[in-house]
Structure 1
Amino acid sequence: MKRDSLDNWKKFGKTDPYFGVLSDEKYKTENITEDGLNEFFETGEAYVKETAERITQAFSISLDQASILDFGCGVGRLAIPFSRITGKEVVGLDISPEIIEKAKEHAHTFERENVRFQVYDGKNLPELPSFDLVNSYIVLQHIEVDRGLALLQQLLDKVKIGGVAHVQITHGHELPTKSYLNFYLRTKVPAYNFLYSSIKHREFKFEPVMQMNLYNTSLLKSLFAKYSSEVKEVKTNHGGFLGSFYMIKREY
């Protein structure tokens, strides 16, 4: 029986909330330092700056008075920096209660009053207003495709007319066959991952691993076409997994 992505993320939320966002050993709970934490949030600052510039270049839209939804916000790595560039409210959503509590703590530490964080059930967005910007980065790839597409449609529904959805989605890979097969089995077959983890750590252990789900680009473009005729795309490559930033300016 395969392990659900919701279970995996909740596990990361309890044990490794920073490593679950950026898979670098220095962000593991037992390794992270104050300098490491500062560096973690600096990566968020850089992403937000780049995103704001990308959207302005694509659509001549400024985010200085944009209401913003950050879907799959984690501990606030992006939502908190977003709150610094806008005078409006920023909302962060995540499925892990433990991670949301961490995000609230960080918002308090950084004295950000225009950002709030909320838990959702992983399947349906909660009651929310519409937003000028809906952002999602390295999130949908960790959600099974059928559920991810349903959530993506809900996210697009939350974009105001004239607003923008900025979503990163993985749709392919260039990994060697052996490497991809090993990764696939670890994410889809718990018994295989238990054996792999136990051999790796030389003790009986189940090490959670994030799924990397590949979305069909034709299905994505068909969905986007229901909301806009103006979609911009920037290619991404994360460790051999190929994807795109899609920017959808909502028209209808």
Structure 2
Amino acid sequence: MDREKKVWEEYGANDAYWAVVTLDEFRDSNLDAKAKDVFFKSGYEHVAGVWQAIEERLGIELRPQRALDYGCGVGRLLVPLSERCASVTGVDISENMLAETRRNLEARGATTFRLLTDKAFMEDTERYDFVHTFIVLQHIDPAIGYKVIARMLEMLEPGGYGMIHVTYKDLAPAWRKLRARVYRNAPAVHKVVTSLTGRKGSFIPTYEYDAVRVREAIQSGGGVELFTTETDHGLGGEMIFVSKPAE
């Protein structure tokens, strides 16, 4: 099992919701029905915001039938997407995360969905008219992430739309960036520090993408950029709204 998969399987089994939205109220020890409601409410708000941005900027009525969410985690965004689309597909590196996504979808009555590992996704032949990924690529090595972006656009049907979120700059103080780089490149150091401080969990790395290479990946998949929205959650980035021209 590679290192990144091991980390996400660990979090998928323990503190899965916190690993998606890193607030203490979503720790397993604090997670109750009220906290879950707050967690999924944030997902509904995000999806509604994406829909509103596309419809208002383009003057269209967005009604996709088949949606893809890459890095679906426990289904925070896949659940609201399932209520807007006839079928949805969620992709995640962690099978433990996918199992929790299944439980969340089924608990809300969703029946038409597919759940794929990241490796199965790269070989999948399905096509979608809406593709989406948010606060996910920042945790994936760009060498892999650019391929994921291109593949998502390849899978987008002509006339379809999507949103790809990427991060370009760590806005943390220099000492925190240095610490993160050490933890990412030497996980054993992080393990020692957490054992001494009593903290739990492996280090979750973040990465900075190159804006030019992101655009190249979108274009190589046959996509075009429509407009962008800047984001800042400690990492500076943008939501890139895309489409694939109708044939």
> TM-score w.r.t. structure 2 length?
0.91
Which residue, 92, 99, 102 being the options, matches 1:104? 102
Q: Give the Cα separation in 2 of the matches to 1:65 and 1:210.
A: 33
1:172-191 pair list within 5 angstroms: 172-191=169-188
Q: Secondary structure at the match of 2:122?
A: coil
The 3-state SS of whatever aligns with 1:62 is: coil
Is 2:153 the counterpart of 1:156?
yes
The DSSP-based 3-state class of the residue aligned with 2:227 is strand
Q: Where do 5+ consecutive residues of structure 2 fail to align?
A: none
Are the aligned partners of 2:167 and 2:236 in contact in 1 as well (CA < 8 Å)?
Answer: yes
**In 2 relative to 1, CA 60–158 (structure 1 residues): closer, same or farther, beyond 3 Å?**
farther
Structure-2 separation of matches of 1:169 and 1:30: 31
The answer to whether the Cα contact below 8 Å between 2:17 and 2:74 also exists between their aligned partners in 1 is: yes
Residue 8 (1) aligns with residue 4 (2): no
Task: Flag the 1:122–1:31 CA change in 2: closer, same or farther, 3 A.
Answer: farther
- Whole-Å Cα distance in 2 between the matches of residues 117 and 237 of structure 1? 31
Q: How does 1:24-103 map to 2 (within 5 A)?
A: 24-86=23-85, 88-103=86-101
Is the CA contact 2:230–2:236 (under 8 Å) kept in the aligned structure 1?
Answer: yes
DSSP-derived class of the 1:224 partner = helix
Q: SS of the counterpart of 2:239?
A: strand
SS in 1 for 2:161: strand
Is 1:232 the counterpart of 2:231? The answer is no
- Contact 1:96–1:119 (CA under 8 A) maintained in structure 2: no
Distance in structure 2 (CA, Å) of the matches to 1:70 and 1:18: 17
Q: Is the aligned partner of 1:125 residue 2:119?
A: no
1:167-188 Cα distance to aligned partner (Å, 9 max, x none): 1111112211001111222222
Aligned to 1:219: 213
The answer to whether the Cα contact below 8 Å between 1:100 and 1:117 also exists between their aligned partners in 2 is no
**Which blocks of at least 5 consecutive residues in structure 1 are unaligned?**
none
Does the aligned pair in 2 maintain the 1:70–1:92 contact within 8 Å? yes
Provide the C-alpha distance between the structure 2 equivalents of 1:223 and 1:193, rounded to a whole number of angstroms: 33
Structure 2 residue 196 is the aligned partner of structure 1 residue 199: yes
SS in structure 2 opposite 1:85?
coil
1:121 offset after TM fit, Å?
4.1
| In 2, Cα distance between equivalents of 1:42 and 1:64 | 21
Cα 1:155/1:16, change in 2 over 3 Å: same
Give the Å deviation of 1:126: 3.8
Q: Name the CA shift for 1:122/1:197 in 2 (closer, same or farther; >3 Å).
A: farther
Residue pair 1:71, 1:135 contacting (<8 A) in 2 also: yes
Tell me the distance in 2 between the aligned counterparts of 1:223 and 1:24: 32
> How far apart, CA to CA, are the structure 2 residues paired with 1:37 and 1:83?
18
Deviation of residue 123 (structure 1)?
Answer: 7.7
Question: Are 1:135 and 2:129 an aligned pair?
Answer: no
Query: What root-mean-square deviation, in Å, do the aligned CA atoms of Structure 1 and Structure 2 show?
Result: 1.9
Q: Deviations over 1:129-150 (max 9, x none)?
A: 2111100011111111101111
Question: Percent of aligned pairs with the same residue?
Answer: 22
Contact residue 123 and residue 147 of structure 1 kept, 8 A: no
Shift of 1:46: 0.5
- Aligned partner letter, 1:68: A
CA distance in 1, matches of 2:32, 2:219: 45
Opposite residue 205 of structure 2, the aligned amino acid is Q
> Which stretch of the first structure deviates more once superposed, 60-69 or 5-14?
60-69
Q: What is the match of residue 238 of structure 2?
A: 244
The alpha-carbon deviation at position 124 of structure 1 amounts to 5.0
What is the one-letter code of the residue matched to 1:147?
Answer: I
Distance in 2 (alpha carbons) for counterparts of 1:246 and 1:133: 13
Aligned residues: 244
